[in-house]
Structure formats: structure tokens, C-alpha cells
Amino acid sequence: MPMELTQSRIQKIWLPNDNRPALPRRSCGPQLANSPTVIVMVGLPARGKTYISKKLTRYLNWIGVPTKVFNVGEYRREAVKHYSSYDFFRPDNEEAMKVRRQCAMAALRDVKLYLTEEGGQIAVFDATNTTRERRGMILNFAKENGFKVFFIESVCNDPNVVATNVMEVKLSSPDYRDCNSTDAMEDFMKRINCYQASYQPLDPDDYDRELSLIKVIDVGRRFLVNRVQDHIQSRIVYYLMNIHVQPRTIYLCRHGESEFNLKGRIGGDSGLSNRGKKFAEALNKFVEEQNLKDLKIWTSQLKRTIQTAEALQLPYEQWKALNEIDAGVCEEMTYEEIRDQHPEEFALRDQDKYYYRYPSGESYQDLVQRLEPVIMELERQENVLVICHQAVMRCLLAYFLDKSADEMPYLKCPLHTVLKLTPVAYGCRVESISLNIEAVNTHRDRPENMNNSQKPS
């Protein structure tokens, strides 16, 4: 007999009409087949393992896969409050080796807790893991707990790249807080040598042929992939093959103020207001002042972003994926009309703005899935200006600034303001630049009292 189904009011998805507990909210992203995954980083110090760990974790969380980094170096700094020198990492320092193993075990205990009790789907075990013995210990741990394992090895033999990484990241480490840069550099290079002597790279042709892994060689110049097990591992591989570390700047802005903005109507495909046209001219001047080489310009396929881009007198590319969130039956309505004609929908969106889906429309969660190809291409590019819309800009900004699904729908993205994003070592620096053209304020803060909410945005 066919099972009775009930449609959820917020997400508009069909659920079994019984007393089974609801699925965890963050399980709405891409699903892992069967078991959680431990991503194991491998490589000598200063090879970008933590950079990859943090960036990959940011991406996975953004697409809806709960992921957390477990950095063994942080456990070591907690256990050994004062770092003295590279001697701690010498392979013949038995006391230190014991401490380092205890730290690795403590991190693995937390990995287990995260994946079995805290709703995590992927744990990134960020350490050197340079010996087969250590990797074997992790594989046994994963087997005992029913976790999948995926290795990411970062290999780089270019001394200039290594030296740059040490200067930009490692010298600012808490280990060298009270040390001058020359002494710190010398000590860290000796630390690398301690690992070099016992380093056993992954060997996908023989010893490690049964393991799932990717070797990232010379910061993405070449890749070697072995035995990808499932959908999520293939997405991880695809992501790693798209990112780069070249200096670049990403500019995000909304279209100029539109006629519908002035009338308080959401969605639609109206043109620019007079002030919106002035912003487009100001944006043209701003872009000229930035003096960027080979700037790419992307817009949505809606009139207001294309009119804004036309003023720049530069080539631009239209992306349907950059169109504003689809408000479904609420398209082209004012907030007051939505409240009067769809009072339940109006209230539901305030309850959970990320997951709420407009009837016959989209949610922020849908928008993230739609924007994933845009993020992938942004990662491949150098200097890009994206002219888009409020909800779209919030989603893109949440990715670069590592904001949660709960924070995303309330990020401030005002009209006539350019956000300049500059990727740095473990994150992104953001600068907000107003072009001093007046515009209506379309932002709405998170409602404090759900019953007295005024308008969605």
C-alpha cells in the first residue's frame, strides 16, 4: 500500500507521515554513501597541508557537508605550552615522540566523537603523517570505527615555494612568538629536516595501491589520483584540481538600484532607476582606477545586472546561475502584499531563512547548489568582478568568509557598495567600498520576535 506523505511547511519537501524522527538539518546537503570519511593529510611541513585542510573544509561546509579540521599541531601546543626548538621533532627524541603520539591519539578520539555523536560527516586529520607506521595506525582506527579514509598528500620540492610558505605562515605561528624571523626560519628548516629523514611518500603503484588518495604535486601543477571510492571523494578531487594560490582579487557587488527596489518589490526583471544608472557610471570609474590586468566581468541574465555591466564598456559574461533567488508565487510582490496574501509563508521564512523554500521557488540552500559551478570557476580565475543580486551575493560571500548557513541569509550586502575580497594564507580579507550614490536599504536584520516580523528580503 502506498505510504502517506506530508509536505514540510518550510522546505516544501515530502516526508513519510509517521512518527520517525526528522533527519538532521545539515543532512540536506550531498550525502555520503554509508559511512563517514576521515581525510588524512600527508606531507612535510610547509607544504600547504593546513591551507588545503581549511579551504577544503570551508567548501564542504558551504555545500552542506558537516566537516571539521583536527590539527594535531594545536593538540601538541596545548600539551607542550612552551616550544623550545626543532629538537622536539628529532626522531631520536623518545620523550617527545611519546608526547606527539599521545597528541595524535587525542585528536583521533575527538575525530571519533565528531563523526559518531556530533553529526559530522567528514573529519580532516591535519598532520604530517609522513610514515607508513603512522598512516597504518590511522587506517586501523578508521577500520575499527567503520570510517572511510581518503589521503591527500601535498608534495613540493621547489625551495622558493617552501621558503615563501614558511615566511608567510609558519613564522607567525605561536611556536615563534618571541623569536626573530632569521632564527625562526633556521629552526623551522631544521624541523623539516627532522621529518625528511623518515618521510615515506604515498606509493599508489605498489605499497599503497589499495588506498584512496590524491597527490597534489607542486601546488597543483600535477595530480595523481588513486581509487576514488564515492561521490563526495570525487567532488573533493574536483575541488582540489580547481584551486590555485596565485595572487588575485575578487570584487562582488549588486546591480545598481532598480525600479522594483524603489517600489519595494522583490524579484522580477526591472531596469535600473536613475540612481542605479549613476552607480553604474561610478562603478565604471572605480574599475578604471583599480587598473586591473585581464579583469573578468560576470553578470546574471537579468536586465538590472546587464545594464550595470554595459556602463563599464568592457566584455562581460552572463551566467544564469547568478540570477536572483526565485521567489516563486511571491515574485514581484511587495513585503506587505506577501504578508497579507501569504501570511503563513511570511512567518515561515523568518523561522528558518536558509532552508525556507518559496512555493514554486527556491531556498538559500537551493541557491548554494546552483552557485557551486560559479564558485569552482571563481577558484580557477584570477581577477573577477561579479555583478549580481542580494541573496546571490550573500551565498558567495558566505563561501569566501566561511559563514554558516544560519548567518548567510543575514549578511549585509548593500546596494552601490563593492566588496573587495583578497585571499590570504588561511582565509580572505574583505574591504567594503561605498561608491557614494544613494540607494534604498533592502537589508533586514534577523527578527528578534518572530510574531512581529516586518518583511523578508
Instruction: Examine the residue annotation and report whether 126 is marked as an active-site residue of this protein.
Output: yes
Kind of pairing between the strands at 122-126 and 384-388: unpaired
β-partners of residue 253 are 387, 418
Q: How far is 318 from 197, CA to CA, in rounded Å?
A: 53
Catalytic residue among 175, 187, 253, 255: 255
Cell 622558493, residue? 160
Question: 261: part of which helix (H) or strand (E)?
Answer: helix 259-263
Catalytic residue among 103, 153, 156, 352: 156
Instruction: Name the residue among 225, 172, 169 with its Cα closest to residue 202.
Output: 225
Q: Let me know: does 276 contact 308? Beta carbons within 8 Å.
A: yes
Q: Count CB-CB contacts under 10 A for residue 258.
A: 29
Q: How far is 139 from 129, CA to CA, in rounded Å?
A: 12
Buried b (16+ CB within 10 A) or exposed e, 341-378: ebeebbbbbbebbbbbbbeebbbbbbbbbbbbebbbbb
DSSP 342: -
- CB-count burial class (<10 Å; 0-12, 13-18, 19+) for 441: exposed
Q: How far is 50 from 128, CA to CA, in rounded Å?
A: 10
Instruction: Examine the residue annotation and report whether 253 is marked as an active-site residue of this protein.
Output: no
Instruction: Examine the residue annotation and report whether 28 is marked as an active-site residue of this protein.
Output: no
Catalytic residue among 153, 175, 187, 324: 324
149: amino acid identity, one letter: V
Instruction: Examine the residue annotation and report whether 336 is marked as an active-site residue of this protein.
Output: no
Residue 412 has, within 13 A of its CA and on its CB side, a CA count of: 10
Instruction: Name the residue among 326, 325, 321 with its Cα closest to residue 376.
Output: 321
DSSP string, 45-111: TTSSHHHHHHHHHHHHHHTT--EEEEEHHHHHHHHSSS---GGGG-TT-HHHHHHHHHHHHHHHHHH
Catalytic residue among 126, 153, 208, 326: 126
Active site residues: 126, 156, 255, 324
